[in-house]
Structure 1
Amino acid sequence: MSAFLQQLPALIGVVIGALGSYLAVVRGDQARFRREQAARWEERRLAVYADYAQSLKRSVTLTYRVAAHFGNDPNPHPLSPQEAEPLLTEAQLARDPVGEALILLGSTEVVQKAQEWVLTVVEMERFLRDGTHDPAAWRALVERQLAGRRGYYAAVREDLALPPGHSARWSVPQP
């Protein structure tokens, strides 16, 4: 019995070491799982943010072309309202599911900025459906749309902890 008592401290040390090692591995695995899960959700949010921006930009590009038809925009590829109607409808239908994903996965700030941007785009579409010829009013809508876009991208960058990006303002030389 005395041999057992002499080896008991070593045995207790081995048990404590094994338990400590097990706990360290479990905690490390949990931390790694949380990091990987956060990275997956961040990738999904980035994909949804980009998809939403692309779908909205498609509508914006179509509005520029229709505005050129009415003489409101200098876009070199005018499109009549009749030709644009099915394309605008298709763009809006494609925008809706991406918008729902944005609401589901996006931060409150990003969703709010997306809403501001899309409401301006809807105003642009309404402006064109009315057949308005007012280049100054159109320019004001375009500036609001660009500000909404910049606000959206800034909110996305902040949400994903990305560095500040390009302002997206291009200077186009006049012919």
Structure 2
Amino acid sequence: MDVVLQQLPALLGVVIGALGSYLALVRSDQARFRREEAARWEERRLAVYSDYARSVKKTVTVTYRVAAALGCGTHPDPLTLDEAKPLLAEANEGRDPAGEALLMLGSVDVVEKARSWVVTAMEMERFVREGRQDTEAWQALLDRQRAGREGYYTAVREDLGLPPGHSARWRLPVTVPAPDQR
């Protein structure tokens, strides 16, 4: 019995060490799991944010093309409204599921900025469906759309913890037609 009592502190040290090792391993695994899970959700949110932006941009691009046909825009590939109607319908059909996913996974700020952007895109669509030829009104819609898109991307970057990005306002060189093309 005396030998057991002498070995008891060493035995307790081994048990406490093993228990401590086990607890440290469990905590480490839990922390790794939480980090991996957060990364998976962040990847899903990025995919949802990208899909939504792509779906809104489809509508915007088609309206650019129709506005060019109406004489309000400068898109190099103009479309008549009749040619554009199936493309607008397709864009709207794609935007609905992307919007639902955005509502489920998006932050409050991102969803609000997305709403602002898409409302302007819908106004652009209404503009071209009505066949309006008001260049100033179209330019105002373009400016609002660009600001809405920029606001959306800024909110997405903030939500995902990314650094600020480019405003996507490209300055295109002004081309002067050659004398024989005037």
- Report the TM-score, using the length of structure 2 for normalisation: 0.95
Query: d(CA) in 1 for partners of 2:87 and 2:167?
Result: 28
Alignment coverage as a number of residue pairs: 175
- Give the equivalent residue in structure 2 for 1:78: 78
- Give the equivalent residue in structure 1 for 2:132: 132
Query: d(CA) in 2 for partners of 1:167 and 1:86?
Result: 31
Identity across matched positions, percent: 68
Following superposition of structure 1 onto structure 2, how do residues 48-63 of structure 1 map, counting pairs within 5 Å?
48-63=48-63
Encode CA deviations 1:119-157: one digit per residue, 9 max, x unaligned: 000001011111111000000000000000000000000
- Give the equivalent residue in structure 1 for 2:154: 154
Runs of 4+ in 1 over 2 A off after TM superposition: none
Is 1:119 the counterpart of 2:119 in the alignment? Answer: yes
RMSD: 0.6
Cα distance, 1:174 vs structure 2: 2.5
Query: d(CA) in 1 for partners of 2:172 and 2:141?
Result: 19
- Give the equivalent residue in structure 1 for 2:170: 170
Cα distance, 1:172 vs structure 2: 1.3
- SS of the residue aligned with 1:173? coil
- Give the equivalent residue in structure 1 for 2:178: none
- SS of the residue aligned with 1:139? helix
- SS of the residue aligned with 1:132? coil
Query: d(CA) in 2 for partners of 1:173 and 1:63?
Result: 23
- Report the TM-score, using the length of structure 1 for normalisation: 0.99
Cα distance, 1:171 vs structure 2: 1.0
- The amino acid that maps onto 2:161 is A
Encode CA deviations 1:64-110: one digit per residue, 9 max, x unaligned: 00001110111121100000000000011011111111110110000
